[in-house]
A and B are shown apart, each in its own frame.
Chain A
Amino acid sequence: DTGVSQNPRHKITKRGQNVTFRCDPISEHNRLYWYRQTLGQGPEFLTYFQNEAQLEKSRLLSDRFSAERPKGSFSTLEIQRTEQGDSAMYLCASSSRGAVSTEAFFGQGTRLTVV
């Protein structure tokens, strides 16, 4: 296992279309996070899972956004009826609920462009 994997790396879509991103975390990690990052800003929290349970959602996550982690392994983030304001880098991270280290590891991100 070489780290957190995100697909696709880039996505260009027309306004109003639906898009889905996938994240495969490090295999033994039980926590998975989604963040969004716009140009020149730090990442902003969207949601996170512990195993298959979605424990917290940001107010940034409107009803057009939905995330799943059905078997506690990979996760998907879907955006319905995309808007130009959704254009951003979507980052996934995973971490282990270890006793000592809670280091988070990030994937390479999915860059979404809504035209």
Chain B
Amino acid sequence: KQEVTQIPAALSVPEGENLVLNCSFTDSAIYNLQWFRQDPGKGLTSLLLIQSSQREQTSGRLNASLDKSSGRSTLYIAASQPGDSATYLCAVIDAGNMLTFGGGTRLMVKP
């Protein structure tokens, strides 16, 4: 059974810092990996999708990498802003298009 772990569970940083969120998974036979953002009481907003044949994807200040063989993905946020404060979730997607989520990292960026 696939298990997804996100470390750290919570993170507080001052504005302007670069930061890295980690996601690990136990079964490397994944199809894709997707990072989401969730604001309190809201649904999930897709940030980046990395296909299994790719090693990274970039969108603005976000960069996500994927190392299938080691079962790891990282989300890099450059020059963090208070508006980045949210919970960040990673989900691995198997060949049946099923998403398995980690517990999330709650990020707070202080002005």
Contact = CB atoms under 8 A, between A and B. Distances in A.
Contacts, number: 65
A108 B42 contact: yes
Interface string A93-115: 10101001111111111010000
Interface in B1-45: 4, 6, 31-32, 34, 36, 41-45
A100 B41 contact: no
A42 B90 CA distance: 9
Contact of A104 (B46, B96, B103): B46
B89 A43 contact: yes
A45 B100 contact: yes
A104 B100 CA distance: 12
Contacts of B91: 104
Given A100-B51, A102-B93, A103-B34, A111 B99 contact: no
Given A102-B31, A102-B32, A45 B46 contact: no
Q: Which of A42, A89, A105, A109 has the most CB of B within 10 A?
A: A42
Interface of B: 4, 6, 31-32, 34, 36, 41-46, 49, 51, 89, 91, 93, 96-104
Interface of A: 4, 6, 31, 33, 35, 40-45, 48, 55-56, 89, 91, 93, 95, 97, 100-109, 111
